Structure 1
């Protein structure tokens, strides 16, 4: 049953995507790949700028440019995905300027089409082979059907962030890592991000349980309740959840947890690459005790330890 919290604070479990296209050539034929990125991460879409090349970087980095005083790296998504682009394309590529972890990155696309509003229930985890060749599913977080029975792929652009070295998974030597007992449940559809968080929680002494989305997260909670009963709130010390996930997003998941008296005392921390203030406020409205931007180890350890200590005292 949908609660008042679900309706008023979490909305309709929907997201808005910028629909963009990348052309690819296979067996002499040209196909249009359809992709999406969360509107919350997009700052603007610009014409292809004049770039300064950088030596010694991965070949998918086209270069850098200055946008109103900010130096921005530009990633060729076709190269990153291993897509063969048709020669002599008569198009003017665009660059989507997106913000991850408070860092701006440009992504080269062939066309930015429109904005789509899609329910997370209609987005499935990536576990398929595309109709025109195989695309590495580690680079995809979800798929959804659109008109004409075509498939839109939601890219795991956090993998680019990690490859560029913007994550800081190592803690500074002067910060003491506290040791806790008990379990931690982590939710993230990105295998890359899930591993980083799992490693961090394990360093803090937690036994880590993983889920790929909010729906699976609720199933894991039910399994734990079947084992521990009402003591589950003492055994499970914290939940760390991504926001963007297929089937059920992090906000919707949190609202469901906080509406359930069996689990509502367990603290929830959101750990997201979306760094806008609106998302942080939505996290609070959904019942989260914290909102972190992926991934700075120093901040992560400090904030998680503080929230767990508070939970243990209460």
Structure 2
């Protein structure tokens, strides 16, 4: 089962840009089926031996030796407080993932299969308030409800990671710089907060949306109202894998529309391990930054803001 999954993961990466999302389906105990983006999965293993490391939060089962690497292992059922997670039932599989430039393991009870689902059939999760819970999307497969987990948010909440990043004063906009706005599109609550922290320190306004369809509708509404979106936004910072419409398709639609085509689009994704540079070029994105480095993101954003300021007759301070 595990090797079959690994073989199919390579095949599923070809779905990028076709507005379909490949999900690894699994259970955490009980009947509920969960999913995680296959592009984040490196491999699936039977539960290995784990060794303990002082200081790990209680939801972590320990650390695994995976091909010579020490990988922290989170018991995902405990991490999200899954009510059907039996305390005396040890999860049988380890899902090894890579995102945001790090490798992380998740223990799950059973691994089901890999499916690919049309992005329009993947819906935003229920509104659970400001924190948004641990879900990034919901969908259905063969009549079963699939809950897609925002693993970045789970990890951040458990580790109580800071969402902000401290940038040096070199990144601040100088006095006299024209006011600017940035449109941020990302389905992860953690990612939106991280990006907003960077942009706040750069001194630019931020509009936050959670999927590509929302973003496209918003831009089209601006255009229909007579306001060129490129005059409202200095750039669009978009994730790639999102419900309703992915970042590749959003970028393609922006380039196709004469009223949107001059927007600057920066793709920002945690899927760096399988990222296809030629795909970014083919859909017409202007730049790409792998998650998550606040300084890399700030550098790339400042390049664009400098260009906008120059066109407006000003000049921003770039990072030395």
What TM-score, normalized to structure 2? 0.82
Q: CA RMSD in A?
A: 2.6
2:120–2:245 Cα contact (<8 Å) kept: yes
For residue 117 of structure 1, give the secondary structure of its aligned residue in structure 2: strand
Q: Which residue of 2 aligns with 1:220?
A: 218
Q: Matched residue pairs, number?
A: 291
1:40 to 2:39 alignment: yes
Q: Tell me how far apart the structure 2 counterparts of residues 305 and 15 of structure 1 sit (CA, whole Å).
A: 31
Structure 1: how far apart are the matches of 2:246 and 2:115? 17
Closer, same or farther: CA 222–301 of 1 in aligned 2, 3 Å: same
**Structure 1: gaps spanning 5 or more residues:** 1-8, 24-30, 130-135
Name the stretch that deviates more: 250-259 or 287-296: 287-296
Counterpart check, 1:206 vs 2:201: no
CA contact (8 A) 1:62 1:74 kept: yes
Which of the numbers 13, 17, 27 marks the counterpart of 1:21?
27
Structure 1 equivalent of residue 50 of structure 2: 51
| Residues 155-204 of structure 1 deviation map (CA, whole Å, 9 limit, x = unaligned) | 00111343447888424537533455221111111222112212221221
Q: Which residue in the other structure is 1:254 paired with?
A: 251
Higher mean displacement: 104-113 or 260-269: 260-269
In the aligned structure 1, how far is the partner of 2:217 from the partner of 2:49?
Answer: 50
- Counterpart of 2:76 in structure 1 is 77
How far the C-alpha of 1:150 sits from its partner, in A, is 1.3
Task: Specify every segment of 5 or more residues in structure 2 that has no aligned partner in the other structure, as ranges.
Answer: 1-14, 312-320
- Distance in structure 1 (CA, Å) of the matches to 2:99 and 2:155: 7
Q: In the alignment, what sits opposite 1:105?
A: 104
- Structure-2 change in CA distance of 1:300 and 1:45 (3 Å): same
Partner SS state of residue 253, structure 1 = helix
C-alpha contact 2:80 2:154 (8 A) present in aligned 1: no
Q: State the 1:44 CA deviation.
A: 0.5
**Compared CA separation, residues 273 and 166, structure 1 to 2 (3 A):** farther
Q: Kindly tell me: are residues 119 and 167 of structure 1, through their superposed partners in 2, closer, same or farther at Cα, counting changes over 3 Å?
A: farther
- TM-score scaled to structure 1, two decimals? 0.84
Query: Once the two structures are superposed, what CA deviation does each residue of 1:13-63 show, in whole Å capped at 9, x if it has no partner?
Result: 10111111111xxxxxxx322011111111001111111212232211111
Comparing 46-55 with 109-118, which one deviates more in the overlay? 46-55
Q: Distance in 2 between matches of 1:166 and 1:98?
A: 19
Shift of the alpha carbon at 1:113?
A: 1.2
